[in-house]
Amino acid sequence: MRSTGSVWLLSLLPPATAVLLCIAVWGAIPLLFQVDSFILPSPAATLAAAIEYRQPLFLNAVQTLSTTLAGFGIALLGGVGLGAAIGSSRIAARALNPLLIGFNSVPKVALAPLLVLWFGIGTVPAILMAFLLSFFPIVVNVSVGIGTIEPELMDLLRSLRATKLDIVRKVGLPRSVPYLFASLKVALTLALVGSIVSETVGANAGLGHLVLEASASFRVPLLFAALIIAAVMGVGLYASASLVERWVSVPVKR
């Protein structure tokens, strides 16, 4: 039997191979087509820029990560509460679903200048944008998870004099955990996108702000380095949600 370490290394082989192939194709394009570095920098030029500007890259990445987690945390608390209300009440679902769908259909890029206008340049618009992008998937998945309780089980619980709050708290929310984690993986990456989009519109720090400055000064290798760091952060957030899901789903041994 294979050890846990060898299985883990084998699981990393396909994504590592795909990443290496992408880097090889990326590095071959400037060589084959004689593309200038200010249009498409090579991986070596991007790595050199990342090393040269490692301190501002790190500081701006920390800023983006903090705003992302703050906005996501607010979306998680509000989304679980509203999703539980919608999933347990048909009246709430009929009243709120059209509003949620309509609001989610509004392009969030159009809201970024308004948030800067209302709250000023800084961290608050980035947090709110992260919240807006990650809120809807959590609400939908939690409400769907709670709404999947079988009518027979509902009748049984009511016959045992369980209140609606007891049903939601002891049956609905545990049943919605798989749906919740499915939404968290998407919501975390969307929150990161929201933070970066807001930082490109109006912010004093963050990867979006750094990307805007790098593009304005034609430092394209630095721009690519910031984008790659954002991609790595997104993969890390997704992997973190997957690890928490695996840890929560492991049955407790007695």
pLDDT digits (tens, 9 = 90+) for 170-224: 676 777 788 888 889 899 999 999 999 999 988 888 999 999 999 988 899 999 9
Q: Given a cut of 80, is residue 140 above it in pLDDT? A: yes
**Selecting from 3.30.70.270, 3.40.1410.10, 3.30.450.30, 1.10.3720.10, what CATH number does the domain 45-245 have?**
1.10.3720.10
Provide the residue ranges of all domains of the chain, joining segments of one domain with +: 45-245
Which pLDDT band, with edges at 50, 70 and 90, does 8 fall under? low
Q: What is the mean pLDDT of residues 153-163?
A: 66
- 64: amino acid identity, one letter: T
* pLDDT given for residue 43 in this prediction: 93
Q: Is 67:155 a contact under the CB 8 Å cutoff?
A: no
Q: Given a cut of 80, is residue 157 above it in pLDDT? A: no
Which pLDDT band, with edges at 50, 70 and 90, does 253 fall under? very low
| Mean pLDDT across the chain | 85
User: What single DSSP character describes residue 253?
Assistant: P
* pLDDT given for residue 160 in this prediction: 65
Q: Given a cut of 50, is residue 113 above it in pLDDT? A: yes
CA distance 139 to 87: 9
Residue 23 Cα distances to 33, 38, 132, 207, 219, angstroms: 16, 18, 33, 22, 20
**What is the reported pTM?**
0.86
Kindly give, in sequence order, each residue whose CB lies less than 8 Å from that of residue 207, ignoring residues fewer than 6 positions away. Answer: 60, 61, 63, 64, 196, 199, 226, 229, 230
> Sign of torsion, CA 36 38 41 46?
positive
Residue 125 Cα distances to 58, 92, 209, 210, 228, angstroms: 21, 29, 13, 16, 23
* pLDDT given for residue 2 in this prediction: 56
Which pLDDT band, with edges at 50, 70 and 90, does 169 fall under? low
Q: Is 84:137 a contact under the CB 8 Å cutoff?
A: no
Q: Given a cut of 70, is residue 101 above it in pLDDT? A: yes
Q: What is the mean pLDDT of residues 213-242?
A: 92
Phi, psi of 73 (to 5 degrees): -60, -40
* pLDDT given for residue 254 in this prediction: 38
* Window from 41-55, 76-90, 136-150, 161-175 with minimum mean pLDDT: 161-175
CA distance 185 to 201: 25
